Amino acid sequence: MVNYIIVTGGVVSGLGKGITTASIGKILQLHGYKVTAMKIDPYMNCDAGTLRPTEHGEVWVTEDGGEIDQDLGHYERFLDINIPKYHNITTGQVYGAVIEKERKGKYLGKTVQPIPHVTDEIKRRIRKPSQEEKFDFVMVEIGGTVGDYENVLFLEAVRQMKLEGDKVLYFHVTYVPVLNALGEAKTKPTQHSVKLLREIGIQPDFVVTRSDDPLDDVRREKIAMFCNIHEEDVISNSDIDNIYAVPLLFEEQHLCKKILNKLNLRKNHNDLKTWKNFITKIKKFDKKINIGIVGKYFDIGSSQLSDSYISVIEAVKHAAWDNNLNPEVQWINSKVFEKKPEKLSTLDDIDGIIVPGGFGLSGIHGKIEAIQYAREHDIPYLGLCLGMQLAVVEYAQNACNLKDANSREVDKKTTHPVIDFIPDQVNIIQDSRYGATMRLGAYPAVLKKGTLVQKLYGKNKIYERHRHRYEVNPKYVDILEENDLVFSGRSPDGVLMEFMELPSHPYFVATQAHPEFKSRPMKPSPLFDGFIKAAKKKSLRK
Ligand code: GLN
């Protein structure tokens, strides 16, 4: 029978509940259990595709084309599995489904109410993965904090699950602050948060405390007493420098054993060695590699900024670690180059440059200038989606003598739209159907024999995930290739350009896809791996 691990949060948002959920899942997986994970987002949007990355962080794209909260990315990276889009539940989806059923007369004669109709719909969705496939554990993270209006029905639904006979354990993740004036860790916010949860009818089985330093015995005792749990079930999750070490932090506190005991499950074999070795290995690297990410999301503060590109950063880390290097990521605001072109020479100090995905016009010209600089100064370059589109624009303008070349997204009137709408997108935009209508999810690409990209993948046909409305305009493929740009991968029908490279450059590779979504610890994405190797070579040239 499947077991559900429900993870709720309290006190403040942004506690790293996603990492906590992924890490609990990981230790269960490392002990031989089959684990998957779900994320509940209490907002009214049907998915994360229409949210602003600077407010909400990156939009994660699943293999089957879902646009989802970045936490699903953590689950995929930690658990090394592909998670389908229906593992993300939002209020918008749930209400949408209930209203549709009501209109179709599915509840005929009944008054349709939040309880039981909305909660039944939520439970149906939470139970769906284990009906489709056999899992030992389904991790269910509920977004937001206890006390928010918007997640009350989700909490009510998971409360009912236990009553209805599902095997459920509740984890509550809270924050234990240290007040500067007192220098003392305070447990009162945790006590209040658990009190709120108990008012809803949920008694947590475990309380996971987020804090700067490990929780001491005095606070542990207090939390146990006031939250009505055993001391050993207060799990300390203090700050550590590497998120991938969190599962080991839990293992040190015997969390897996405690979970299994509560569920009367026997211990399976354990395979912690590989993960432990991985963590020990990456802690040792002292050689640094300096990667610059040229982006535009810089107005809201540094923590939000890095969240907007989290999968790119993780992919850089995975590839760097695999090459025994310590990655250092620098944020480069492309708008700076628009005002001060002389700043472009600062790029010489960087070992490799990435232009990641993006939308809209701001900072575009600065990005194009940075790409030109990387191309002309042999700086390794990796272009991701928008980063490929702008590389093509730059090449058309400066190497193919098409001065007015541009992307239709940037300049609607350009005489040389080297990047243009994917044909289906024209009607979609005209009708303002923005939700879930981009080219989304994994698509195949056939790689050209003998190209660098084909060598890096070591295969002729690969699948990467996509999220875009524009593409290389087929009318310009010949002229670009005549000028030595190579399209090293295309859609199987040959129409869409999926990869490009410049053979004369040490590493100038770009893709219309987002390979960062498939990068995993110990399994770096081939394009990132090639990029880091080239960056390492450049660092030795210094
Ligand atoms: N804005 C571009 C497009 O829609 C690129 C999107 C992206 O980088 N994900 O095609």
- List pLDDT tens digits, range 462-482: 999 999 999 999 999 999 999
pLDDT band at 436 (very low <50, low <70, confident <90, very high): confident
Helices within 328-434 (DSSP H only): 334-339, 364-376, 386-399, 425-430
Ligand 1 pocket at CB < 6 A: 357-359, 385-386, 409, 467-470
Distance 387 CA to ligand 1 centre (A): 9
Give the whole-number percent of the chain exceeding pLDDT 90.
Answer: 82
Which tens digits make up the pLDDT trace of 175-191?
A: 999 988 888 889 999 99
In this prediction, residue 426 carries a pLDDT of 77
Ligand 1 pocket mutation, candidates 382, 429, 467, criterion most atoms within 8 A of CB = 467
Distance 448 CA to ligand 1 centre (A): 24
Distance 50 CA to ligand 1 centre (A): 14
Known catalytic residue at 505? no
Please, are residues 10 and 197 in contact by the beta-carbon 8 Å criterion? yes
Q: Collect all residues with Cβ–Cβ distance below 8 Å to 192 and sequence separation of at least 6.
A: 10, 11
Known catalytic residue at 46? no
**Neighbouring C-beta atoms of residue 478, cutoff 10 Å:** 9
Ligand 1 pocket mutation, candidates 50, 355, 385, criterion most atoms within 8 A of CB = 385
Instruction: Give the mean model confidence (pLDDT) for residues 120-127.
Output: 98
Q: What's domain 287-540's architecture?
A: 3-Layer(aba) Sandwich (3.40)
**Neighbouring C-beta atoms of residue 168, cutoff 10 Å:** 22
CATH class of 3-279: alpha beta
What are the distances in angstroms from CA 352 to CA 291, 313, 510, 526? 5, 13, 13, 15
The yes-or-no answer to whether 3-279 and 287-540 have a common fold is: yes
pLDDT band at 53 (very low <50, low <70, confident <90, very high): low
Atom of ligand 1 nearest to the CA of 384: 8
Distance 468 CA to ligand 1 centre (A): 4
Residue nearest to atom 6 of ligand 1 (CA): 468
CA dist 102 and 49 (Å) reads 26
- On the question of pLDDT at 63 being above 90, the answer is yes
In this prediction, residue 183 carries a pLDDT of 82
Q: Which helix (H) or strand (E) holds 8?
A: strand 3-9
Buried b (16+ CB within 10 A) or exposed e, 487-508: bbbbeeeeebbbbbbbeebebb
CB burial class (10 A; 0-12, 13-18, 19+) of residue 405? buried
Q: Which of 374, 378, 361, 371 is nearest to 393 (CA)?
A: 371
3-state secondary structure of 257: helix
CA dist 186 and 294 (Å) reads 40
Identified catalytic residue from 46, 256, 385, 400 = 385
In this prediction, residue 305 carries a pLDDT of 64
- On the question of pLDDT at 295 being above 90, the answer is no
Enumerate the domain spans of the chain.
Answer: 3-279, 287-540
Distance 49 CA to ligand 1 centre (A): 12
Atom of ligand 1 nearest to the CA of 438: 4
Known catalytic residue at 385? yes
Which tens digits make up the pLDDT trace of 477-499?
A: 999 999 999 999 999 999 999 99
11 vs 447, higher pLDDT = 447
Residue nearest to atom 9 of ligand 1 (CA): 357
Instruction: Give the mean model confidence (pLDDT) for residues 107-114.
Output: 92
Please, are residues 376 and 345 in contact by the beta-carbon 8 Å criterion? no
Ligand 1 pocket mutation, candidates 359, 390, 512, criterion most atoms within 8 A of CB = 359
pLDDT band at 525 (very low <50, low <70, confident <90, very high): very high
Average pLDDT over the chain reads 93
